[in-house]
Amino acid sequence: MRLSRRQTHELAGAYALDALDGAERDRFERHLRRCPACERTVRGFAQTATALAMAAAVEPPPGLRERVLTAASVTRQAPPALAGRHGRAATRPGSGVPGRSSGGRSPWVPRVAVAIGAAGMAAAVALGAVQISTQHQLNSAVAREAQIAAVLTAPDARIATAPTSVGGTAVVVVSRTQQKMIFTSSGLPALPSAKVYELWLLGPRSARPAGLLPPPSGGRTAPLLASGVAADDKVGVTVEPAGGTSSPTTTPIVVLTLPA
């Protein structure tokens, strides 16, 4: 159906305020791609809406900053949309904003980036956490990063974050189908050399050791992979003597419930 020019101009306002639904929005977007004048109008309206948003600014809850920045540090970025039809179609006209999700995506927890390349080192770079000096280290790092990448790219990968009682934020990315998780953190205080942060899988009956966190570097701990994550496990971190222990001896600084 073709809209008259007049009808289209009238829809530009509702469109810019996201007040069009379904078929009408799709129809308007198709028209917009062929109508530079409409696109300019929508752009002006979108800038106007931005002023409305600015006027609504309020301070977000404490902790959001830390969680967002930490989640970003383990989330690979999407590649740029290349010029041409594909890139054009991938964004919403007039805004460069990625197209509306087609539904079905869990809105509760951000999906971890799905675009990690096949090369494990790409993930290593994305995670910003790998330092390599020997071929052996390189081989094991590549293998480890490939496993980490596999979790991050799992279709069911979900992220959970929580503040710890000693400061900083714990971040867990879990894939239920792979029964694996990745733990990382930001802002944890450095420990004396006789102490270490130990990761635990906390089942209903027992705690299983899941590895020692690498010492924080640049405010973050490098990602730690844990396998054998059971459906009802929670994840905890305790401070233990160097070398770690087989069961927790102190109160966890954080306990995370894994997203379903």
Partner 1 sequence: MGSFRSASDPAERSDAEPTRGDSELDTLLTMVARGDQGAFETVYDRLARPVYGLIRRVVRDPAQSEEVAQEVLLEVWRTASRFDPARGSAATWALTIAHRRAIDRVRSETAATEREQRSAASPVAVDEVAETVEATLEAERVRRCLDGLTQLQRESITLAYYGGYSYPQVAALLGTALGTIKTRIRDGLTRLRDCLGVSW
Distances (CA, A) of 160 to 41, 70, 144, 196, 255: 40, 11, 21, 23, 11
d(CA 191, CA 188): 9
Pick the piece of the chain touching partner 1 (CB under 8 A) from 91-99, 143-151, 206-214, 222-230.
91-99
- Each residue 119-138 as x (binds partner 1 by CB under 8 A) or -, in order, gives -------x-x----------
Which residue stretch of 19-27, 166-174, 208-216, 225-233 sits at the interface with partner 1 (rule: CB under 8 A)? 19-27
User: 156-186: buried (b, 16+ CB within 10 Å) or exposed (e) per residue?
Assistant: ebbbbbebbeeebbbbbbbbbeeebbbbbbb
Q: Which of 26, 30, 33, 65 binds partner 1 (CB under 8 A)?
A: 65
Please report whether residue 9 would count as binding partner 1 according to CB under 8 A: yes
Smallest gap from Cβ 254 to partner 1, in A, equals 17
Residue 49 contacts residue 17 (beta carbons within 8 Å): yes
- Which among 52-60, 136-144, 149-157, 227-235 is the span making contact with partner 1, rule CB under 8 A? 52-60
Return the structure tokens found at 119. Answer: 């090369």
DSSP reduced 3-state for 148: helix
- Read off φ and ψ for residue 98, nearest 5 degrees: -55, 145
> Does 62 help bind partner 1 (rule: CB under 8 A)?
no
Total number of residues binding partner 1 (CB under 8 A)? 66
CA 179 – CA 229 distance, rounded (Å):
5
Residue 234 in contact with partner 1, rule: CB under 8 A: no
CB of 43 to partner 1, least distance (A): 5
Rounded Cα gap, residues 19 and 21, in angstroms: 7
Candidate ranges 40-48, 144-152, 195-203, 238-246; the one touching partner 1 (CB under 8 A) = 40-48
Q: Give residues in contact with partner 1 (CB under 8 A).
A: 9-14, 16-21, 37, 40-41, 43-61, 64-65, 67-69, 71-73, 75-81, 90-92, 94-98, 100-101, 107-110, 113, 126, 128
